[in-house]
Amino acid sequence: MSAMRGAAAYGKGAKAYARVGVESGVMSASPHQLISMLFDGAQASIRKARIHMQDGNVAEKGLAISKALDIVNNGLQAALDAEKGGEIAERLWSLYDYVARLLMEANLRNDQERLDEASVLLESIGSAWRDIGARSSEV
């Protein structure tokens, strides 16, 4: 019985430690790094959704897709500055909108192809974003 409590306490402690690590990473990140973290978080949620979809775990799949949608809509899309970004921001907004629709359809239809397409699109944009960051830090 005490071994079970010890394991549960360890699990809670590990989660708290991870949360502090994530919060510390966010607090010390540049705006560019924060966007990279959003791409990483969306991809992690899509990977979880794919696993749950394959396992037939509908509830967990829905939660993972909802998290990815939240990151796309309230993180990536909300971070766009139409004034400064002009046409690029406008095109990214449309692309994020398309990714959100893919994620919703993947959830509704249990469609792994739509999930994969959303992942590929986010990876392409995220990769380009990270390249921009690497180039700007070299200067």
52-70 residue pLDDT tens:
999 999 999 999 999 999 9
24 touches 104 (CB < 8 A): no
User: What pLDDT shows up at residue 26?
Assistant: 57
Which SS3 state, helix, strand or coil, does residue 111 take? coil
Distance of CA 107 to the CA centre of its chain: 16
Q: CB–CB of 89/80 below 8 Å?
A: yes
State the pLDDT at residue 100. Answer: 98
Low-confidence residues of the chain: pLDDT under 50? 1-22
90: number of Cβ within 10 Å: 12
Distance of alpha carbon 89 from alpha carbon 116, whole angstroms? 24
CA distance 107 to 15: 28
